[in-house]
Amino acid sequence: MAYLVLARKWRPQNFNDLIGQEHVSQTLSNAIRSGRIHHAFLFTGARGVGKTSAARILAKALNCEEALSDHPCGTCSSCLEITAGNDLDVLEIDGASNTGVDDIRELRENIRYLPSRSRFKIFIIDEVHMLSTNAFNALLKTLEEPPEHAKFIFATTEPHKIPITILSRCQRFDFRKIPLVKIAGLLREISDAEKLTISDRSLSLVARQGEGSMRDALSTLDQVIAFSGEEVDDEAVQSLLGMVDRRLLLDTAEAIIQRDSRRALDSVRRVDQLGLALRQFTQDLLEMFRGMVICKVVEEPAEMLDLLGDELQELKALAEDASLEDLQRIVTLLMKTQSELVHSSYPLLTLEMSLVRLATLAPSQDLGKLISHIESLEKRLSSTSLPKAQSPPQRTSPQTRDTISNAPPPPPTEAPPPKKSEAPVVTSTDSKGWQGLVEQVKQSRPMLGSVMEHGRLLKLEPPLLEIGYPKDSFMISQLQEQDISQDLETLATEYFGKTIKLRISAIDNQQQDASPSLVETRQAEETDRMRRLQDDAIEHPALKAVQNIFDGKIKKVIPIDKGFV
């Protein structure tokens, strides 16, 4: 027996099987139960959403030998022949290949005859918008005064091409794209029935590839089975469909929001190494930021976003770290990048520069508030006189004459000794050796050096070098690649003059017994520096005088001396 593709094998056989078209099923079922059955129906919608299947189900409901019912038996000869497509009283016509007026005239002649055995003679015309103008005119008279035994069901993906005179004589049903969750759920049922071993993640990729079409999703699943067999691997599905790993998209989006241009560039390098399409990557990234905008402005974003499992929670967590204005700017720039990639002679460079720009965007500010503040400040300056100058400070205290930028910092306070439970695992005292190794690697391999900066040194006892990274992070998967780890071992061996064996370990973000990474150390030093600088500036008498004059508040302290320590 010839193989029957999944889309035909699992075609809906009753109204309950029409996934995502409940509004159509309910209306047709009520019409059949009440006996208010129109003579002409128009089914419109995207490809693969169930238009032709609904037409066959309606035909079975009207001509079932058991009874005129919205639940056809599916076992009588009429139902079986309609399902097989060879019932004499149900004619399926392809509008694309029967476009002429002569074809419609032949159809009109056929309508005159009573059905051979069924209640109605039903004409299903698919892609009806392909009929010529003369053919529509020939059909119009029949639709105006149809015989009682005739029913018409038209299906089309382009209803705007149908003359208004035809549309006005039909009951129109608009079929919607099927939500991703429902497609994935049905794919799971079919996979279990077909005894396939496939993960929910792979099914979500297949469902997303369908783009709202159940038929396209099932065709994709057929392709996946042909490629992998009954044991389907996640990486094989991703490679076959050419889709971007969601983890890579999340890392890129996080790098942009956290303004980490190095990580953003590293994402582009990864995309290029995997051979992924740059436009597809940009489009997927654009969809991700669109989802963040929706999470910001809609209370129930799940209704507008086709996301599965924890995808929505991940998107909400990212959206919390960015303002709505910043997300809107990112979406606008990504749309511009998407169009630029079409005509760019250097698409990789175009994408790199776009992500760097996104990662270095200054936080947006409310322009209306700034203008209002300036206007208020001008009014106060015009109505308030400056206070009399105070007596000059004593010459023996030159520090009080310094400006804010020259104010000396307070004496450094000694950090409390670390608790015993917080002692790092690093057994080597050669911390400068680790920092020197990272600096040496950055000179020859900047990207690799950047990844090392984010790692935590766990042990440095030649020949063993152990580095820790958070579980499931992009960087740990990168360093675990054999070619990259071998390169790092070679560079470390050259630096220390001894054979080095590299070990990459997964750690928790909250793990207290691991020394901070170089990036975390620099951030802590910068935070402490900014704290002392801010305290010093707030206590300066000149700044206090300005606050008294303008009744102002300190929003931000910006260092103008990078040498401040």
- Whole-angstrom distance, CA of residue 18 vs CA of residue 55: 11
246-359 is classed in which CATH architecture?
Up-down Bundle (1.20)
Residue identified by tokens 């690697």 is 441
More confident residue, 368 or 86: 86
Q: What was the pLDDT predicted at 465?
A: 86
More confident residue, 360 or 538: 360
Residue identified by tokens 């035994």 is 149
Range with lowest mean pLDDT among 177-191, 229-243, 258-272, 388-402: 388-402
- Whole-angstrom distance, CA of residue 546 vs CA of residue 544: 5
Taking residues 90-102, report their average pLDDT: 80
Per the CATH hierarchy, to which homologous superfamily does domain 423-515 belong? DnaA, N-terminal domain (3.30.300.180)
| Domain 423-515 in the same topology as domain 6-174 | no
- Contact between 187 and 159 under an 8 Å Cβ cutoff? The reply is no
DSSP β-ladder status, 456-461 and 150-156: unpaired
Range with lowest mean pLDDT among 44-53, 94-103, 116-125: 94-103
- Contact between 47 and 215 under an 8 Å Cβ cutoff? The reply is yes
Q: What is the pLDDT of residues 434-469, one digit of tens each?
A: 888 888 888 888 888 888 888 888 888 888 888 888
Please, which residues bridge with residue 502 across strands? 465
Q: What was the pLDDT predicted at 256?
A: 92
- Contact between 328 and 293 under an 8 Å Cβ cutoff? The reply is yes
DSSP string, 152-196: EEEEES-GGGS-HHHHTTSEEEEPPPPPHHHHHHHHHHHHHHTT-
Q: Is 428 exposed, middle or buried (0-12, 13-18, 19+ CB in 10 A)?
A: middle
Q: What is the pLDDT of residues 475-493, one digit of tens each?
A: 787 777 778 888 888 888 8
Q: What was the pLDDT predicted at 544?
A: 73
6-174: CATH topology is Rossmann fold (3.40.50)
0.75 cut: is pTM over it? no
Range with lowest mean pLDDT among 5-14, 136-145, 554-563: 554-563
- Whole-angstrom distance, CA of residue 418 vs CA of residue 412: 17
**Is 53 a residue whose pLDDT tops 80?**
yes
Taking residues 11-20, report their average pLDDT: 90
- Whole-angstrom distance, CA of residue 276 vs CA of residue 268: 10
- Joined together, the tokens standing for residue 430 give 């050669």
- Joined together, the tokens standing for residue 416 give 């409390």
Q: Which of 282, 296, 193, 192 is nearest to 244 (CA)?
A: 282
Q: What was the pLDDT predicted at 274?
A: 81
Q: Which of 283, 285, 382, 289 is nearest to 329 (CA)?
A: 289
Q: What was the pLDDT predicted at 562?
A: 54
Q: 180-241 has which CATH code? A: 1.10.8.60
In the chain, what are the domain boundaries? 6-174, 180-241, 246-359, 423-515
Q: What was the pLDDT predicted at 514?
A: 67
- Contact between 116 and 88 under an 8 Å Cβ cutoff? The reply is yes
Q: What was the pLDDT predicted at 426?
A: 43
